[in-house]
Amino acid sequence: MTTQTVQKTLDRRALDSLFAGRHTTNTFTDIPVDAKLVQAAYDDARFAPISMNSQPLRLTLVEKGQPRLKLVEHMMDGNKAKTEAAPLSIVVAYDPDWHLNMDELFPAVPGVRENLASQPENRHAMGRDNAFIQFGYLLLALRAYGLEVGPMTGIDAAGIDAAFHTENGWKAIAVVNVGHAPNPEDEQAQFPRGKRLEFSEISQTR
Ligand SMILES: Cc1cc2nc3c(=O)[nH]c(=O)nc-3n(C[C@H](O)[C@H](O)[C@H](O)COP(=O)(O)O)c2cc1C
């Protein structure tokens, strides 16, 4: 590889505020999360690339109280208490009928909607894959807006679908707890940092 100066559009501080300077978070302060912040994060994240601009991601913002207790029933045991306590929990899902929007979302290639109408298995696979990619972008965007995130796939997806998605047919893939920076005295708030693999360990050049 030739030696080049690394050109960055974000400075070190901004990069650290998205990556190395932040931790997945289990417990938060009691400060509520304004849904407008989540919307602002989504409004930015939606511009990041996904397959055919398909945009299958769907979100259900679950407030504290009865709706949250209904969600907690369908979380794995280790994820229950923190989900009950979080200022905001969001069910992350995909819409298997995402193809219905494709005339507008991907006008560059006409006919995607018609072609996928008879391919439900493909739509589920693509919807799930691309919703996960969008979810990743959303996590970083929420951090960019100053929020901490606790993503979880330890869920009973079918149970969540039965509780929250009967009217729209969305399919749950994850839940993310969202809040403000944890109390630094709370050692359960964030786990110690695990090792990250080096580029040399995860890449090859041919
Ligand atoms: C897709 C996904 C699923 C995860 N599922 C769970 C989960 O079910 N329960 C949990 O406690 N943490 C879960 N995590 C959190 C990860 O364990 C955590 O992000 C990772 O270990 C990095 O931790 P760090 O940010 O403190 O370095 C999940 C994270 C992601 C992105």
Choice from 128, 152, 196 to test ligand 1 binding pocket (greatest atom count within 8 A of CB): 152
Predicted confidence at residue 186, as pLDDT, reads 82
Contact 152, 177 (CB under 8 A): yes
Which residues are CB-contacts of 142 (< 8 A; sequence separation ≥ 6)? 37, 38, 41, 149, 176, 178
CA 22 – CA 3 distance, rounded (Å): 30
Query: Mean pLDDT of all residues in the chain?
Result: 95
User: How many angstroms separate the alpha carbon of residue 25 from the centre of ligand 1?
Assistant: 9
pLDDT tops 90 at residue 77: yes
Percent of the chain with pLDDT over 70: 98
Which own/partner pairs from 198-205 qualify as long-range (CB within 8 Å, at least 24 positions apart)? 205/1
Model confidence pLDDT, tens digit, residues 83-93: 999 999 999 99
pLDDT tops 70 at residue 1: no
User: How many angstroms separate the alpha carbon of residue 165 from the centre of ligand 1?
Assistant: 24
Could you tell me the two tokens for 190?
């964030």
Q: Phi and psi at residue 163, in whole multiples of 5°? A: -85, -30
| CATH number for the segment(s) 27-180 | 3.40.109.10
Predicted confidence at residue 4, as pLDDT, reads 65
Mean pLDDT, range 100-123, rounded to an integer? 96
Mean pLDDT, range 42-56, rounded to an integer? 98
Contact 156, 174 (CB under 8 A): no
Predicted confidence at residue 5, as pLDDT, reads 72
CA 78 – CA 72 distance, rounded (Å): 11
Give the residues surrounding ligand 1 with Cβ less than 6 Å away. 23-24, 78-79, 151-154, 174, 190-191, 193-194
Contact 97, 122 (CB under 8 A): no
Percent of the chain with pLDDT over 90: 91
Task: Kindly list the domain boundaries of the chain, sorted by start residue.
Answer: 27-180
Predicted confidence at residue 3, as pLDDT, reads 53
Contact 179, 107 (CB under 8 A): no
Question: Which of 124, 130, 128, 129 is closest to 105 using CA atoms?
Answer: 130
Choice from 153, 178, 187, 190 to test ligand 1 binding pocket (greatest atom count within 8 A of CB): 153
